[in-house]
Amino acid sequence: MKKFLLQFFTWWNGQTLGTRFHTWRKGQRVGEDEFGNVYYQGGTDSEGRTRRWVIYNGYSEASMVPPGWHGWLHHKVDRPPTEEDYTPREWQKPHKPNLTGTPAAYRPRGSVLAKEGRPRVTGDYDAWTPS
């Protein structure tokens, strides 16, 4: 019941009721990735192509879609990774979660939130003053 209420009142936690209904009516399960996300297809979109979608395992985080599935979702390839021997390219890196808004977020040197604080001001800067 709790999972249903979360899906009813939040769009970022799994699937919404509209997605659940569309998946039940027209969805054909295509596969699952290493993160537990499940991929579906069925019906047609406004351009006449087969509609494709993902139901995330947990929070809806677009960066959790692996490159092979991303290509399939966006109609860049016709066959999903489950139907071909997909191997990532050597330049493709493993997934890192989006840490924005968390204590582990990137804070460059000089950021107000950086641990070391802002560097001391040197004499090479003159503040602007209106004439």
What are the sequence ranges of the domains in the chain?
2-83
> Pick the residue with more confidence: 114 or 2?
114
> Is the Cβ–Cβ distance between 69 and 54 less than 8 Å?
yes
Model pLDDT, residue 39: 92
pLDDT digits (tens, 9 = 90+) for 21-70: 556 667 788 899 988 998 998 878 888 888 888 888 877 778 888 888 98
Q: Which of 40, 92, 105, 85 is nearest to 66 (CA)?
A: 92
Alpha helices in 13-130, H assignment, sequence order: 17-26, 67-73
Residue type, 84: E
Q: What is the pLDDT of residue 74?
A: 92
pTM: 0.62
